[in-house]
């Protein structure tokens, strides 16, 4: 929620917020970046794939700890200091993996797309989205109990593993280009 709601929680006039931020979006950007402050980059000593997974998983769980802001993180490019710091870590990992500069940027975009979507799913799925449950049941015919939960960290890890396979294949195929 926002502006009036935040102002009420802060026990101040709604307009006082506009003294500090030009608009609602700027305020949410700032909060979003703050939510990523605690995410640690394992750094260049860690193997690139572990570093990559580490950053992405940590960013995901950090965002989920502030569910109110997760939707906004999911919707905007990471231009705050912490967002850029993590993007730099991912970029370094991908470069170390052997991708060309162009491939690094494309893969960075793909990864951010994936994390934000996984985040969005986790947020508006609660923990188990009844709607998703119905899709899965309709498709698979599996009993409900064994289905992977939408937006779960297991589900996130699975998709990330697919992408890591792709990155390795891409690096092997065109690394020097």
Partner DNA sequence: ACCTGAACACCGTTCAAGT
Binding mask 20-59 for a second copy (x = CB under 8 A): ----------------------------------------
| Nearest distance, CB of residue 106 and a second copy, angstroms | 5
Binding mask 19-38 for DNA (x = CB under 7 A): x---xxx-------------
The end-to-end CA distance of the chain, in Å, is 47
Nearest-angstrom CA–CA distance, 176 and 55: 25
Residue 85 interacting with a second copy (CB under 8 A): no
Write down the residue that tokens 């991912």 correspond to.
90
Nearest-angstrom CA–CA distance, 8 and 11: 5
Residues 102-141 that bind a second copy (CB under 8 A): 102-110, 113-114, 116-118, 120-121, 124, 129, 131-132, 134-136, 138-141
Q: Which of 38, 2, 46, 43 is nearest to 21 (CA)?
A: 2
Q: How wide is the angle at C-alpha 7 spanned by C-alphas 4 and 10, nearest 5°?
A: 155
Whether the CB-CB separation of 110 and 135 falls below 8 Å is answered with no
Residue 144 interacting with a second copy (CB under 8 A): no
Binding residues vs a second copy (CB under 8 A): 74-79, 84, 87-88, 91, 101-110, 113-114, 116-118, 120-121, 124, 129, 131-132, 134-136, 138-142, 146-148, 150, 155, 158-159, 161-170
């Amino acid at each position: 929620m926002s502006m009036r709601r935040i102002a009420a929680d802060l026990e101040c006039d709604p307009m006082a917020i506009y003294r500090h931020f030009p608009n609602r979006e700027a305020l949410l950007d700032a909060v979003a970046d703050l939510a990523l402050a605690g995410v640690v980059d394992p750094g260049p000593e860690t193997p690139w794939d572990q570093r990559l997974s580490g950053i992405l998983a940590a960013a995901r769980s950090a965002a989920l700890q502030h569910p109110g802001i997760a939707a906004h993180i999911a919707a905007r490019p990471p231009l705050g200091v912490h967002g850029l710091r993590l993007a730099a870590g991912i970029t370094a990992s991908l470069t170390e993996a052997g991708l060309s500069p162009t491939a690094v940027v494309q893969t960075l975009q793909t990864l951010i797309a994936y994390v934000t979507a996984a985040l969005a799913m986790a947020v508006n799925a609660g923990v188990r989205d009844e709607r998703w449950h119905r899709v899965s049941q309709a498709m698979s015919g599996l009993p409900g109990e064994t289905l992977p939960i939408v937006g779960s960290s297991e589900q996130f890890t699975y998709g990330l593993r697919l992408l890591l396979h792709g990155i390795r294949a891409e690096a092997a195929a065109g690394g020097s280009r």
